[in-house]
Homo-oligomer: A and B are copies of this chain.
């Protein structure tokens, strides 16, 4: 891994981690690392406090913002856009699609929107295969992803110190655990936002 790839990765993961730490609805952080595993350059791991049977709308919105935060950090600190965000984009879009089409969490309401595999199959449990509905579904999905992107952008713009501090430490020690993350963020976080806790 080139030094440039290491720096990219450190800021990308630091972005994920800081946004995850500062969104109260998100699962708590477990570990952040820039040691490659498999096809991933780095990983930000979260641990749900308890087995969750269902997810709330703010929790899913937080997930989308966390997924967007990797690209946002690359843009704000390194002025770059890379293919490293492809998987984040895929997962964020899928979460947004689920919220709109299956979970009734958009202005379109609690209706299932799914075009059945073979058009109007009798078994298909779905509404929505007119172009008009498809357009509104597309708009809502895109709006949810862009809102998550904006949330991530605002947090990272405000907490530049925390992101930079974590990225610097990652470049030195490669992995940071939950306790050290809490300490780092407590040290750097902008004090004017007391309501947000890790």
What residues make up the interface of A, taking CB atoms closer than 8 Å to B? Answer: 1-2, 5, 8-9, 36, 41, 49-57, 60, 68, 71, 80-86, 88-94, 96-98, 101-105, 108-122, 124-135, 137-138, 141-142, 145-146, 149
Known: A112-B90, A114-B122, A119-B117. A81 touches B97 (CB 8 A): no
Q: Give A71 Cβ to nearest chain B Cβ, in Å.
A: 6
Whether A138 lies near B142 (C-beta < 8 A) is no
Whether A89 lies near B111 (C-beta < 8 A) is yes
Known: A89-B102, A104-B81, A109-B145. A50 touches B2 (CB 8 A): yes
Whether B54 lies near A110 (C-beta < 8 A) is no
Besides A89-B103, A115-B129, A128-B138, 8 more A-B contacts (Cβ < 8 Å) are: A2-B52, A68-B110, A85-B103, A85-B110, A94-B112, A117-B118, A131-B131, A133-B135
Whether B133 lies near A138 (C-beta < 8 A) is yes
Residue among B2, B60, B80, B131 making CB contact with A57, cutoff 8 Å: B80
Chain B residue nearest in CB terms to A128: B138
Counted per complex, copies of this chain come to 6
Chain B residue nearest in CB terms to A72: B110
Chain B residue nearest in CB terms to A99: B83
Whether A54 lies near B89 (C-beta < 8 A) is no
Q: Give A115 Cβ to nearest chain B Cβ, in Å.
A: 3
Q: Give A33 Cβ to nearest chain B Cβ, in Å.
A: 15
Complex Cα distance A95/B85, Å?
Answer: 16
Whether A82 lies near B55 (C-beta < 8 A) is yes
Residue among B9, B103, B142 making CB contact with A127, cutoff 8 Å: B142
Q: Give A128 Cβ to nearest chain B Cβ, in Å.
A: 5
Whether A56 lies near B81 (C-beta < 8 A) is yes
Chain B residue nearest in CB terms to A113: B120
